[in-house]
Amino acid sequence: MTTGQIVAMGGGGLASDPEDALMVGFVLGLAGARRPRVCFVGTATGDAEAYVLAFYRECARHGCTPADLGLFDRRMEDLHAFVLAQDVVYVGGGNTASLLAVWRAHGLDAILREALAAGTVMCGVSAGVNCWFQASTTDSFGPTLAPLHDGLGFVPGSACPHYDGEEQRRPLYQRLVAGGFPAGWAADDAAALHFRDGELVEAVATRPGARAYRVEAVDGRAVETPLPTRVLDP
């Protein structure tokens, strides 16, 4: 069993929207540090400079100690020591399949598992959700969404971000689960799922009406169960 805390955000995350700042604040509160050390991992967008800069701007608003881990122009020799020193690892959106391949090539997957067990909070949006689960829905292979089966499995089952934000997500996920895809969790764009030791702690949201769901197969069809979702206070 994988121990530790993971926050899977359906959408949002690093932007100037006050709602996104609420979600970032929630994650930082889980770190339990006065000035948490937060590392951004932008592998899913090829370490895009604009995404990294957005992360540093957001950190400046929250009084944390930021860092970023680039793997395409890698400057960090000792990944193990660097990652284990972080209080929070934030994984950005983008291409989930490419992210997983690059992480495995650098051995980052095993390091993240160790850091999670040591107390580092893992979080992310979109691809930064998919990576933590066994399976997910992804646009990694083109504009038509497809299933992905080889996530890290830090949380059992499957995941579907952007549940209300992209029209293909909900129907595809339900078809997959009905057809034998692992049961799992879905989150609207302004909602997130907080897990500890692979078990759901709670669902939170930054706006009323945003929800998270448990999706399971019952008698050959997908059953979607809305979860109690706490709206974060501004």
Residues annotated as part of the active site: 126, 162
223 burial type by CB count under 10 A (0-12 exposed, 13-18 middle, 19+ buried): middle
Neighbouring C-beta atoms of residue 131, cutoff 10 Å: 28
Give the dihedral sign, CA 131/154/28/87: negative
Residue 59, both tokens: 């950190």
What is the CB-side half-sphere exposure of residue 97 using CA atoms within 13 A? Answer: 11
With H, G, I as helix, E, B as strand and everything else as coil, classify residue 102: helix
How many residues does this entry show for the chain?
Answer: 234
> Which residues does 22 contact at the CB level (< 8 Å), separation at least 6?
206, 232, 234
